[in-house]
Amino acid sequence: MEAIIFSVVAAIVFAMSGYLKSAKDEEFDVTKFATTVLVGALVGVVLYVKGAVITEEAVATQFAAYAGIVVIVENALKAVMRWFQNA
């Protein structure tokens, strides 16, 4: 269960950092934010099912790794969706 929580928190941090990066140029988009958090939850579920264990000594490392996985999965999903939209 911790893997799911960590992945969702990592996704929230990633989504907020993306918004803060572009805050002057665009308004907050709830759909984008929710999509990123959903991807984080899905990553967490997969990691939980696979038996990922969160250890106290490696919290920062695992948090960064989960955030990276969320970014990669979200970008891959966006690429596939764009490919189907343009096909």
Quick one: tokens of 18? 């993306």
Confidence class for position 25, pLDDT limits 50, 70, 90: confident
User: What's the token pair of residue 74?
Assistant: 């979200």
Q: How many folded domains does the chain comprise?
A: 1
Q: Taking residues 23-43, what's their average pLDDT? A: 81
The boundaries of the domain holding residue 23 are 2-86
Q: Which residue has the higher pLDDT, 34 or 53?
A: 34
Would the pLDDT of 52 be above 80?
no
Q: How many Å apart are CA 59 and CA 71, to the nearest integer?
A: 18
Q: What is the pLDDT of residue 58?
A: 66
Closest CA to 15 of 39, 46, 47, 50: 39
Average pLDDT over residues 39-65: 75
**How far apart (Å, rounded) are the C-alpha atoms in residues 86 and 83?**
5
Q: Which pLDDT does position 86 carry in this prediction?
A: 83
Q: What is the pLDDT of residue 57?
A: 63
pLDDT score for 24: 75
78/22 Cα distance (integer angstroms): 19
Show the tokens assigned to 62: 């695992």
